[in-house]
Chain A
């Protein structure tokens, strides 16, 4: 535990990527294999299930700290992180112990089965045997959310440096549903275990947003465009007669979408498709909010299946005939994908060996941009819930821009631009793929309430509530906590502390004085919100110091932005 805590401390204490990678590499060079495995697991969000809920953790920590519960809660509000608060308020260690990381994790796994009394005894005993950073790490293993500025990419880089294995190959090996409990470091990193690899997704290739002028991307002829669908990015794997559906967050979601089992009937083994899961009914893409009703469910009932059927809208083909084809040019991968979709969408199994496949038609430029020509009448019951995300080719960037402006009517977020000869890369990379989203909606709103932030903004008032005018009053419409610079946050924070009207626990109401431009991605009528409007991803765009509050927008201005066919949230 000492070494792991020291590693976290080093990483935590620097902003420099090189130092973080060096510390991780050093750790991977020297730590025992079990500890390395668990380190990889923890840093890739595969911590073991929490043995104790946070309410009990707070109570038990407060008890041995000898402070009242309310004081713990106040401290937590100010510190902003539970693991850190507990580590700080506990009495200082007198007799430290040194258990290894893997031993502590084994004990925490065992602890799940124990009685509450035993759990309490274990935690209180062990807290007192750890120093501040070990405690912090110990708590973090239980509470999760190890946000210490180490991405999976960074960790993979260090592991590659330590093992000599190529970074992209490692990234692939570390994907999937392994846990620290069902594999070993050797097996995970060094062995090519076919069974273990069977369900493994490839690392997703992610795009950055276009910066600057779109024409900087060069000759438009080198680019393929498609709509950026607003659903769940996913990878669909068919291998050895089994289906695996992965979300971008590396969550195996196969069971949430039983309709995709049909793929097994028609798509050959050794196929991996990159696509978007979208709610799709009566030949049309439904609202993202409809999809949300399915995301949260553990079991999917018949009614929900009928109400919100889903499809995979395919973007790309990563594996074909059991071969990793990510290095092929995008155009060639797409050609294979189009051939596949063309055959199977009508429920016809694709047969690799057969040369009697129908010659694929060119995707037509119909109005839906998802090629579902033969199914447009079949309602929720597509033969196979697989569509193609149509690629488009333009003669000028003006045409591309015009297509992007149709995003709202197509229910997309904008366009994806992919270089026609680009391989499928690992992770977020600049150059070959770009997302070019439509400009979000925005209004000018008045700051009405503020709350302290969390984590690095603990102790600063950075979480704001905004109001719009209605009949001479400000009606709350959104909360936002990102978009200002640290310097701006400090200015607003200082102003808030001097202009507080009332306090409600951690929340303060402030004198209406400041106007901010708030942008959001989507808008829909809502019965749950006082304003009658729900916005998606609201964020602060800029501080409108030039505007008096009288010039902020009205609630009616906001409602006018709701698309006419908007459904209730």
Chain B
């Protein structure tokens, strides 16, 4: 048997024919990067190649690195292996990577979702033989409602808080989810304030996307001006002293994990909105169908369960691979840009 086009190695997903890695988790010479989240674009590679839109995001995060951008669908040929980037719809800039060699086509999804979120270039299915798919939410228990409905709920909740004289604090990852909320929040009667991490990332993305006005929360920001408005903060801010400024407030989290009552209740938050930047169960199955693939490799998420389902129910040649993308270990977090937020302060009751 010949070497597979893409292999799972200790450093990451490796294309031996071209000598490059896709989203590697250890420092390598040449890395093709799907998107700007910290678990996919890590520090320490000698050369980064990614879609144009990701360049400002990644340099904002990693500083002075050697990075070059490429457009959707453009071919990058290395040692006769053809690489191209295609929209993944996960967050702004996120791509799938298509790899073609000697007539064989593989697609690595990175992270993706099928719904158009209004800020990311929408996902496009790519025909392939072998599909490497994430399955963060690869269980039939996960079913997303349309974004418009969820955002209606979010806006209603904020309006109610406003009427009650409370500040609405929304916890969301500073790259992706935060901007998705900002884009669709109703700002007719409320202003949006941001935590530093969210504010800076939003400023970076303004190059690509139109957003409503956001204001950075600083030492000078007064309690009075904040009252009844909206604050967007990364989950790591939950329970920190920083939040005292906003009293009285109500807190909410927007994540696919909010599907589970357990996840919602474990964190001392008032409200959970089920809003994810990953595919739900049906989204995963539809995407796989659309690729027309024969082989599926499932990565981070419920990869073993999902692979078994694809084998037994869909007749696909499916297997799971372990990666260091942060799908499985998290209980309520989709991977965050701030790695220090790994252990969040949570109010606990020892039982």
Chain A nearest Cβ from B19, distance in angstroms: 29
Q: A89 contacts the other chain (Cβ, under 8 Å)?
A: yes
How far, in angstroms, from A68 to B343 measured CA to CA in the complex? 36
Task: Decide yes or no whether B305 CB sits under 8 A from chain A.
Answer: yes
Q: How far is the CA of A211 from the CA of B10 in the complex (A)?
A: 52
Indicate if the CB atoms of B262 and A13 lie closer than 8 Å. Answer: no
Whether B350 lies near A81 (C-beta < 8 A) is no
Contact with B along A66-79 (1 / 0, CB 8 A): 01101110110011
B 241-275 binary contact with A (CB < 8 Å = 1; else 0): 00000000000000000011111111010111000
Chain A residues near B328: list those with CB within 8 A.
Answer: 497
Q: A288 CA to B346 CA in the complex, in Å?
A: 38
Q: Which residues of B contact A412 (CB under 8 A)?
A: none
- Beta-carbon nearest neighbor of A85 in chain B: B141
Bin the interface of chain A by size: 35 or more
Contacting residues, chain B, for A253 (C-beta < 8 A): none
B141 nearest CB neighbor, chain A only: A88
* Residue A123 lies at the interface, judged by CB distance under 8 Å to chain B: no
Interchain CB contact (< 8 A) of B331 among A68, A70, A71, A490: A490
**CB-contact partner of A80 in B262, B271, B308, under 8 A:** B262
Beta-carbon contact of A88 and B143 below 8 Å: yes
The reply to whether A460 and B141 form a contact with Cβ atoms under 8 Å apart is no
Cross-interface CB contact of A89 among B141, B271, B343, cutoff 8 Å: B141
* B274, chain A: closest CB distance, angstroms: 10
Within the complex, the shortest CB–CB distance from B278 to chain A, in Å, comes to 16
Question: A456, B343: Cβ atoms under 8 Å?
Answer: no
Whether the pair A459, B260 counts as a contact (CB closer than 8 A) is yes
The answer to whether residues A75 and B139 also contact, given A13-B264, A68-B312 and a CB cut-off of 8 A, is yes
**B350 & A483 in contact (Cβ 8 Å cutoff):** yes
Report the minimal beta-carbon distance from B329 to chain A, rounded to whole angstroms.
6
- Indicate if B79 sits at the interface (CB-CB under 8 A): no
Q: In this assembly, does A487 line the interface, its C-beta being within 8 Å of a C-beta of chain B?
A: yes
A89 touches B262 (CB 8 A): no
Question: B350 contacts A485, CB within 8 Å?
Answer: yes
Does the CB pair A78–B346 fall under 8 Å? no
The closest CB in chain A to the CB of B312 belongs to A68
Contact check, B348 vs A68: say whether CB atoms are below 8 A apart.
Answer: no
In terms of DSSP, what is the predominant structure of the interface of chain A? helix
B295-338 vs A, Cβ < 8 Å mask (1 yes, 0 no)? 00000001001001100110000000000000011010000000
Q: Is the CB of A74 within 8 A of B139?
A: yes
A13-B271, A75-B141, A88-B141 known; A486 vs B312 contact (CB < 8 Å): no
Interface bits A228-251 vs B (CB < 8 Å: 1, else 0): 000000000000000000000000
A72 to B173, CA, bound (A): 31
> Is B331 in contact with A74, judged by CB distance below 8 angstroms?
no
- Alpha-carbon separation in the docked complex, A12 to B263 (Å): 12
A483 to B142, CA, bound (A): 31
Q: Contact at B141–A78, with CB atoms within 8 Å?
A: yes
Asked if B103 is at the interface (CB within 8 A of a chain A CB), the reply is: no
Q: B328's closest neighbor in chain A, by CB?
A: A497
A84 touches B305 (CB 8 A): no
Q: A189 an interface residue at 8 Å Cβ cutoff?
A: no
Chain A positions within 8 Å of B63 at CB level: none
Distance between Cα atoms of A296 and B95 in the complex (Å): 61
- The answer to whether the Cβ of B148 comes within 8 Å of any Cβ in the partner chain is no
Set B141, B264, B266, B302: member contacting A486, Cβ < 8 A:
B266
Q: Tell which of B265, B305, B346, B350 touches A71, judged by Cβ atoms closer than 8 Å.
A: B305
For A89, list chain B residues within 8 Å (CB).
140-141
B331 x A459 contact (CB < 8 A) = yes
User: Measured between C-beta atoms, what is the minimum distance from B164 to chain A in Å?
Assistant: 11
Structural contact, B261 and A482, CB atoms closer than 8 A: no
**CB-defined contacts of A460 to chain B, threshold 8 Å:** 331
| Residue B2, interface by CB 8 Å | no
Q: Is B351 an interface residue (CB 8 A)?
A: yes
Q: Could you tell me the distance between the alpha carbons of A71 and B138 in the complex, rounded to whole angstroms? A: 11
Interface status of A455 (Cβ within 8 A of chain B): yes
A14 at the interface (CB under 8 A from B): yes
Q: Please state if B270 and A71 are interface contacts (CB–CB under 8 Å).
A: no
Tell whether A52 is near chain B: CB-to-CB under 8 Å: no
* B262: contacting residue among A68, A457, A485, CB under 8 A: A457
User: Nearest CB to that of A68 among chain B residues?
Assistant: B313
Contact A491 B309 (CB under 8 A): no
In Å, the complex CA distance between A80 and B141 comes to: 12
Residues of A within 8 A of B263 (CB): 459
Decide if A487 touches B346 in the complex (CB within 8 Å): yes
Expressed in whole angstroms, the Cα–Cα distance for A16 and B269 within the complex equals 10
Which single residue of chain B is at the shortest CB-CB distance from A454? Answer: B262
- Name A65's closest neighbour in chain B (CB-CB): B140
Interface presence of A374 (CB below 8 A) = no
Indicate if A209 sits at the interface (CB-CB under 8 A). Answer: no
Q: Which residues of A contact B343 (CB under 8 A)?
A: 487, 490-491
Tell me, rounded to whole Å, the shortest Cβ–Cβ distance linking B282 to chain A: 10
**B268 x A15 contact (CB < 8 A):** yes
Question: Which residue on B lies nearest to A491, using beta carbons?
Answer: B343
A491 to B263, CA, bound (A): 16
Q: Which of A470-485 contact B (CB under 8 A)?
A: 482-485
A145 vs B350: C-alpha distance in the bound complex, in angstroms?
A: 21
Q: Are B261 and A81 in contact (CB under 8 A)?
A: yes
Tell me the minimal C-beta distance from B140 to chain A in angstroms. 5
B346 x A79 contact (CB < 8 A): no
Q: Whole-angstrom distance between the alpha carbons of A250 and B139 in the complex? A: 40
Contact A79 B141 (CB under 8 A): yes
- Residues in A with CB closer than 8 Å to B309 are 67-68, 71
Task: Give chain B interface residues in 101-158, CB to chain A under 8 Å.
Answer: 139-143
CA distance A16 to B251 in the complex (A): 12
A74 proximity list for chain B (CB < 8 A) = 139, 302, 305
User: Shortest CB–CB separation between residue A31 and chain B, in angstroms?
Assistant: 22
Residue with the greatest number of chain B CB neighbours at <10 A, chosen from A13, A455, A460, A493: A13
- In the complex, the chain A residue whose C-beta lies closest to that of B309 is A71
Interface centre among A71, A72, A80, A458 (most CB of B within 10 A): A71
Residue with the greatest number of chain B CB neighbours at <10 A, chosen from A16, A457, A486: A486
For A76, the closest partner residue in chain B by CB is B141
Contact A84 B331 (CB under 8 A): no
- State whether A456 touches B143 (Cβ < 8 A): no
The residue in chain B whose Cβ has the minimal distance to the Cβ of A87 is B141
The CB with the most chain B CB atoms within 10 A, among A15, A74, A482, is that of A74
Contact B262 A486 (CB under 8 A): no
Q: Which A residue's beta carbon lies closest to that of B259? A: A88
User: How far is A457 from B263 in the complex, measured between Cα atoms in Å?
Assistant: 8
Q: Which of A65-115 contact B (CB under 8 A)?
A: 65, 67-68, 70-72, 74-75, 78-81, 84-85, 88-89, 92
Q: Does A494 contact B (CB under 8 A)?
A: yes
State whether A84 touches B261 (Cβ < 8 A). Answer: yes
- Cα–Cα distance between A459 and B343 once the two chains are bound (Å): 16
CA distance A89 to B259 in the complex (A): 11
A497 to chain B: closest residue by CB? B329
- Within 434-479 of A, Cβ neighbours of B (below 8 Å) are at 455-460
Q: How far is the CB of B328 from chain A (nearest CB, A)?
A: 7
A229 to chain B, nearest CB (A): 25
Chain B residues contacting A75 (CB-CB under 8 Å) are 139-141
The closest CB in chain B to the CB of A89 belongs to B140
CB nearest neighbor in B for A453: B262
A485 vs chain B, min Cβ distance (A)? 4
Selected A-B contacts with CB under 8 Å, 22 pairs: A13-B264, A13-B272, A15-B265, A67-B140, A68-B309, A70-B308, A72-B140, A75-B139, A75-B140, A78-B302, A80-B260, A88-B140, A88-B141, A88-B142, A88-B143, A456-B265, A458-B260, A459-B260, A485-B348, A485-B350, A490-B331, A491-B343
Q: Which residues of B contact A (CB under 8 A)?
A: 139-143, 259-266, 268, 270-272, 302, 305, 308-309, 312-313, 328-329, 331, 343, 345-346, 348, 350-351
10 closest A-B pairs by beta carbon, nearest first, are A88-B141, A486-B348, A456-B262, A485-B348, A458-B262, A482-B351, A89-B140, A75-B141, A74-B305, A456-B266
Question: 17 new A-B pairs (CB below 8 Å) besides A68-B312, A74-B305, A75-B139?
Answer: A12-B265, A13-B264, A13-B271, A14-B270, A16-B270, A67-B309, A67-B313, A78-B139, A78-B141, A88-B142, A92-B143, A457-B262, A459-B263, A482-B351, A483-B351, A486-B346, A493-B331
